[in-house]
Each structure stands twice: as C-alpha cells, then as structure tokens.
Amino acid sequence: MNFLKLAFRRLFRKGEHAFTRIISLAAGLAFGLLLLSEVLYYYSYDSFYPDSDRIYVVHENFKMDQSSDKLESHPRVSGAIAPGLQAEVPGIEAATRLNSLGDHVVYTEDLNSYDANISLADEHLFDVLPIPMVSGNPKEILKSPMTCMVSQELADNMGGNVVGKVISIKNYPDKELTIGGVFKTLPENTNYTYDVLVSMVSTEQFTWDGTNNWMGNDRYYACVKLNPGVKPADLVPAVRAMQVKHQDIEKLEEEYHGIVLQYSFEPIKQIHVNNVKDMIIILATIALAVLFVSLMNYILLTMGTLVTRAKSSAIHKTCGAETKNLQQMIFSETIVLFGISIVGALLMIWALKPIAEAQWGHSLVSLLNPYVIIPLVSLLVLLVFVTSYFPGRFFSRIPVATAFRDYKQKRGRWKLVLLSFQFVGATFILTVLVIVTLQYNNMKNADHGYVAKGVYYGSTQGMDGNKIATVLHELRSMPEVESVGLGFDVPINGASGNNILSMDGKRELFNVADFYEVDANYLSILGIKVDEGDDFTSNQAVANDVLISKKGAELLKLNNGWTDGVIGKQITVTEHGSTTIRGVFPDFVVRSISDPDVRPSVFFYLPEVKFEEQKIENPSASFNIMVKAQEGAQDGLMDKITEAFNIGFPLDDAEIKSLEAEQLDAYKSEKGFRNAMLIGNFIILLVTIIGLLGYTFNESARRRKELAIRRINGATLLDILKAFISDLEFVAIPAVLLGLTGAWFTADKWMQNFAFKAPLHWGVFAACSFFILILVALIAAINYTRTANQNPVDALRQE
C-alpha cells in the first residue's frame, strides 16, 4: 500500500491537526537546527585544510615569576620559532608563520579602494596551510620582496585579471606591492583569515622586522604539520633543546627565578572550539531544549489524533495488516509531516537569515559543510524514527474489538510527562531570556566612566599631514562642535600595554593599558576629570608628562612606598622612558564591560602642534581626531564632520565613527544572544501553548462524561475549573522548578563571561514561574470552560 500517498491525503483531514503539528514542529526545527548548526560549525573550523588532523598551532606558555602557578597561554610566538622548529625538531614535516598587518584600505593603480585584511607570510605557508591557487606559484610569490597574492574575491572586485598589477596600502602610501597570484578565497570557518598575503621578506617595509627574533615581538601565528603518527608530546625534548640552544632558557630560568617559557602544540581544529566552549554548552542546551519540547509536543498531538483513528487501526487489522504494516503507515505519515516541517523550517531560517548572519558573524551558506550537514541529517533521521516509533507502537497495539466499540484513551500519565517537559523548556528559556535581557540592559546603560554621547572620532590614517591644521580649524569653526582634540585611541577600542618599572629601573612593577599620547582637549571631550593634580590643560604640562588612573596610583604608592601621593613623581615606563606624573583620574572601562581590560591606564601628553609635526614627518603615523558635539546638535553632524575630514584626504574617503554607536556595538554579541533567546522563547511558548491546547482539548473530550456528571450534581464552573486546573498545576509546579534550576545553571555559566554581572535576584525566578503557571491555568481555563458549559445532557447522550 502506498502509505506516502495516504499520508498526503490525511494532511487535509479535519481533526488531524496536521498543520498545527507542522507549524509547531517547523518552528522548533528552525530554531533548534539553526543553533545546533552553529555549534557544529564551531567544530568545522580549519577542517578544510588537507591533513588538518596533523596541523597544530604553536602556543607560547609563560609566567614571569613565582607569584602564580598558572601559565599564561598566547597563540602567537616570536618570529624565529617556526623556522627553528622545522630545522631542529624531528617529527615536524613543515612549519610556517604569518604576521598580521590587520585590516587596511588597499588602492589599485586606478585609485579604486578596497577593504582587505593583510598578512605577511613565509614561503612555507602552503606546505602547512595550503589553499587552492587560481594563478601563480605561492612559493615563488612568498619568497619575492614586495610581492603579494590576493584572494579570488578581492581579485574579482578589482576586475578579475590582477596578476602583474600594483597595489598600495592607505596606511603605507609610499609602498607598492606587485600582485603575483590569486588564491581561492578562504572559507569563513578559519581561525586565521586574510585577503592579501605579502611575502615575509617584505616585513621591514611595513613594520619592525622580528622574523629572526627568538624572544619578544611575539606576534607570529606559527603552525606546524607533524609527520604521520607523531604526537605533540613526542616533540617536547627537542623543543626544549632548541630553547636551550637559541634562547639560553636555562640561564634565564636561573636569573629570573620562577620564570617559565614553554611551547605547546594545539590541534588547529580545536582552537576555535576551546575559545567558545561555554557558548557551545549554552547554545547546545538551548537548541536541544527547543527541539525536545517541539518533538514532545508533536508526539503529544499525534497520539491525540491517533485515538480518534483507533477504528482505522482495527479496519486495517481485519483486512490483514500486521503490526509492522501499521508502523510503516505511521512512519510514512511522520516522513511527510517532517518533510513539510523541514521545508517550513528552512523557509523560516531563510527569513531569519539577516538576524542570524549578524549574530553569528558569518554567512549561513558557510554552514553547508560536511561537519554540519552530516550530523544534522543523522539527527533528523533519528528524530523521524523516534517520533514515528512511539505513535506507531501505540497505534498498532490498539485492541481491535475495543476499537470497534468505543476506544478511549486511558488517563495516560505519559501525556502529562510529555507536557511537563514542555513546561520545563518554557520556564527555562523564559528565565534565561529575562536574565540575558537584564544583563544586556545593565551593560548597555552602565556608567563606563567616560562620556560617549555626542563624541565622534576619525583616524588620520591616509590624511595629508600638512592639512591637519586646516581640518582642525574647519571643525572648530562649526557651530555644532563644542571641542576638538587629538589622541591615539579611544577607550572602547582598548589599549596597548607597557610596563612601569621600579625606581631602580630593574624590575617591572606592573603592566598598564597605555593610551599613548593625547592633547590638552582629549580628556575633557571624554568627560574624564582629573581629581588629583592637574590635567594637560595646565600651563605646566610638557610633552611626555603622564596621567595615571587611580588604580595605578595606588599600586605605585604600594610598590614604591610613597606616602605623600604620586603627583610630581618621576616614573619610568617602557617605550616612553622617564616621565612626570601630572595627575590622577578615576579608572574607567577600557574596552567593554563584557570584556574589560582591568589594568590601570595611562595617558601621555603631546601638544597639538607636535601631533601635526609627527604626521608630516611620518605620513604612516596615525592618530584620532576627536570631536565633541554641542548638546542637541547631532542631526546630520556626522556628514559635516566627514566633509571637514575629507579636506585632508586626497580621495575623500574619511571614515567617521560615533563613540556612542561603537560602545553600543561592543555589546552586539550580548544583544544577538538576547535576540536569539527572544526568538527561542517565542517558539517554545508557541509550542507549549499548542501542546497545552491539544492536551486540554483531548482531556476535555475524554472526560466529557465526568464533566457532565459533575455539573448535574451541582458543581459550579469554578469548582470544575479548580479541579481540572489543579491537576495540571500539580504537574506544572515541579516542571517549572526544574526549568528554573536549569536556567540558573545556564545563566550562571553565561554570566561568568562578565566582570560586571546583573544580580540573579530571586524575584526574576519568581516572576518567570508565576508567568508560566498563570499561562497554564489560563489556557486550561479557556478550554475546559467551553466543555463545562456544554449541555450535560447532550454529553451523556453521546456517551
């Protein structure tokens, strides 16, 4: 018998709730599969490289003294480490290193500009991390000075045939690179990405050349490919021998008691998984919760409809159907409903594509790789079997004789169990949603210790140094502008690091978040007030004077034994030399609350005119011009500021940012998570409501006679509702408590990512429980009221 054809016919039959089942299943599948595919995607990172199981990223593990047992692990090493490993450590088949120059604007000869991530790479790159080439010989290109190769995507944007063409970089205006080849664009699921690869022999043209450094300048991404059968642990003695030979590590360990410097080899496929392991647990938990609730709901509704089809089971049996035939029938129906639900889920995912892509930070198309597709398809097959097995088993076991008389399902506690799973899921996700929302709002609205509203800034990267004075004058003459200043960075972007040395200059006391130089207006633009000493507006301020945060001042007092404060004291800071502390300001949030840099911070003074001179002397130097707008004068101001900036840009390509928007953007991950929770919550609540409606509908049909007898015997509607709803709440209360426990654990784990946490107040949990319990009571009341208000005589007659 063609069960599939029959299954399609059944879709449109009244009372089968086919579309209700499809919608709730599709919604659950859409959300659950989307989250699960993201989790699986994490496991696909860098698996596209041939022999990826043998590729490892070299990590530098170190500690400076005995104050801690914990080794700091850093995924970058010094320049000479990769070639050293290849030369001196047996078991390594090949080693390579990359040195990122970061995101840049690239110009072609026709002065068209393109955004590109640029990296320096040695000629062994394709021995370890090969990418198919479209044209050119990668080894030759990466050996030749000032030669580069570009991704196919960038080449296509540049017009296709780019080999032999010359490009320049906005930040390095006088350097020209010849394109020697084109490589296939890297997939998105990689830890190390680039659009342009420049030969490493060109390093000194762009930055200080540390390619032969055995220690320090540890900014090289080094990868090795091990010989088959070799394990990272096998390499330890040879690596140590290399360190002894080239780093004189034994002497270092003797001189600096407690210092540890080791190298480890992390499997390239595990790097991303380790970085996001908390998120994997959270996303997988939520995905499985949503899928589980949807499936429970599907089974609950399906069982309900099978009761009404009991006679058809008996008819098939009297015509000779065996158990397996009836199970095949239900299996076919499940296939059809699942098939349609999957199509529906894919359409929903398509509709959610912009949100999902913004949240995940990659295209959804990149999910279409075997690491994601194979487990998901296997899961779907398993789900089809599970969701068809139980209803099929139930349907094939309905006794024939009973089915022909008047088959009614028994009370069936399993239905309540299925329903309670939905209550657990609904409570869990609602509570997590509320907590995530609270955390996001708290972070977004928290006092960061500086003013972001009305502050705009733009980089002078690529600006003509001779025109900076004109740009500043133009900006200052705008009536909407309150103040203009200069500085190397802004708090939301974080800061570089330098060490403050002890008074004798022999010891590093502590590391500081170094914002480098700022002019006299910078701090007032950000609303950072110096509450001890003077700021840089003082006439006494001279270049290289320093302001330090309160935390730093306290550490100085403690370390140096200063009892009379820090103002006017001399300190030595690496890279800056000796400097005088001019003032102390309150600590503010460096980077974001979700990822704060907790080091003390420092600003060094540089008069405006010196900034200009620096830019003229070194066109590659760049800093920010900061603009503080007058209150209420922000409409269209960004365009005006951009126009003023463009005076200094030959190609009119200035990029102005709003500090307030950047600050908000720093929390986009939390916002995305909140939005994902919101959608998940909507789906689970929808599924739960559908499940509850289905359950109460079936229950009121099953207990119609009981309801009628109660009414005839004088029970009021309220009495009946009380009795029926309390049955449900008896199941709902423990389920809600279980959901709350899960939510507490998940939220607690998620909150561990934040230094600043919204309090997990008991009121949040109480309110969420209350909401779910009221929702259950309300839906049950509506459905039972309808049945209870029927004429009891009719109900008994039908019985």
Point out which residues bind other proteins (CB under 8 A). 1, 6, 9-10, 13, 311-312, 314-322, 325, 399-401, 404
Question: Which C-beta is closer to other proteins: that of 12 or that of 208?
Answer: 12
Question: Which C-beta is closer to other proteins: that of 325 or that of 622?
Answer: 325
- Rounded Cα distance between 287 and 283, Å, is 6
User: Of the candidates 524, 499, 503, 501, which has an alpha carbon nearest to the alpha carbon of residue 514?
Assistant: 499
Cβ 370 to other proteins shortest distance, Å: 39
Cβ 11 to other proteins shortest distance, Å: 10
Question: Which C-beta is closer to other proteins: that of 309 or that of 448?
Answer: 309
Question: Which C-beta is closer to other proteins: that of 233 or that of 319?
Answer: 319
Cβ 19 to other proteins shortest distance, Å: 17
Cβ 403 to other proteins shortest distance, Å: 9
Give the 3-state DSSP-derived string for 286-340, with helices as H, strands as E and coil as C: HHHHHHHHHHHHHHHHHHHHHHHCHHHHHHHHHCCCCHHHHHHHHHHHHHHHHHH
- Rounded Cα distance between 624 and 456, Å, is 10
CA dist 525 to 287, 445, 591, 627, Å? Answer: 45, 20, 18, 7
Please enumerate in sequence order all residues whose Cβ is within 8 A of that of 499, keeping only pairs 6 or more positions apart, or say none.
Answer: 508, 509, 510, 511, 512, 573, 574
Cβ 308 to other proteins shortest distance, Å: 12
Cβ 400 to other proteins shortest distance, Å: 4
- Rounded Cα distance between 85 and 225, Å, is 11
- Rounded Cα distance between 50 and 130, Å, is 8
Question: Which C-beta is closer to other proteins: that of 4 or that of 273?
Answer: 4
Query: CA 564, 570, 575: angle at the middle one, nearest 5?
Result: 140
Please enumerate in sequence order all residues whose Cβ is within 8 A of that of 741, keeping only pairs 6 or more positions apart, or say none.
Answer: none
- Rounded Cα distance between 335 and 8, Å, is 10
Question: Which C-beta is closer to other proteins: that of 314 or that of 500?
Answer: 314
- Rounded Cα distance between 390 and 397, Å, is 11
Query: CA 550, 555, 559: angle at the middle one, nearest 5?
Result: 150
- Rounded Cα distance between 280 and 672, Å, is 15
Report, in this order, helix, strand and coil percent for the chain, each rounded to 5.
Answer: 50, 20, 30
Question: Which C-beta is closer to other proteins: that of 312 or that of 559?
Answer: 312
Cβ 709 to other proteins shortest distance, Å: 18
Q: Among positive and negative, which fits the CA dihedral 788, 790, 795, 798?
A: negative
Residue 458: CB atoms within 10 A of its CB come to 24
Q: Which residues pair with 495 in a beta bridge?
A: none
CA dist 729 to 15, 503, 724, 726, Å? Answer: 27, 70, 9, 5
Question: Which C-beta is closer to other proteins: that of 13 or that of 668?
Answer: 13
Question: Which C-beta is closer to other proteins: that of 104 or that of 317?
Answer: 317
Question: Which C-beta is closer to other proteins: that of 50 or that of 320?
Answer: 320
Strands (E), 576-671: 577-585, 590-591, 596-597, 601-605, 624-629, 656-658
- Rounded Cα distance between 145 and 123, Å, is 11
Question: Which C-beta is closer to other proteins: that of 393 or that of 507?
Answer: 393
Question: Which C-beta is closer to other proteins: that of 403 or that of 486?
Answer: 403
Question: Which C-beta is closer to other proteins: that of 325 or that of 366?
Answer: 325
CB 760 within 8 A of CB 748: yes
- Rounded Cα distance between 517 and 522, Å, is 10
Pairing of β 172-183 and β 147-151: parallel
Cβ 730 to other proteins shortest distance, Å: 27
Please enumerate in sequence order all residues whose Cβ is within 8 A of that of 544, keeping only pairs 6 or more positions apart, or say none.
Answer: 576, 577, 579, 604, 605, 606
- Rounded Cα distance between 193 and 366, Å, is 14
Cβ 1 to other proteins shortest distance, Å: 5
Place of tokens 């420092």: 602
Cβ 710 to other proteins shortest distance, Å: 21
Cβ 391 to other proteins shortest distance, Å: 17
User: Of the candidates 537, 524, 434, which has an alpha carbon nearest to the alpha carbon of residue 771?
Assistant: 434
Please enumerate in sequence order all residues whose Cβ is within 8 A of that of 351, keeping only pairs 6 or more positions apart, or say none.
Answer: none
Question: Which C-beta is closer to other proteins: that of 394 or that of 611?
Answer: 394
- Rounded Cα distance between 598 and 603, Å, is 16
Cβ 753 to other proteins shortest distance, Å: 54
- Rounded Cα distance between 36 and 461, Å, is 42
Question: Which C-beta is closer to other proteins: that of 9 or that of 507?
Answer: 9
Question: Which C-beta is closer to other proteins: that of 400 or that of 686?
Answer: 400
Question: Which C-beta is closer to other proteins: that of 264 or that of 325?
Answer: 325
Question: Which C-beta is closer to other proteins: that of 247 or that of 325?
Answer: 325
Pairing of β 596-597 and β 590-591: antiparallel
DSSP run (H or E) holding 522: helix 522-525
Please enumerate in sequence order all residues whose Cβ is within 8 A of that of 363, keeping only pairs 6 or more positions apart, or say none.
Answer: 188, 357
Q: What is the DSSP letter of 77?
A: B
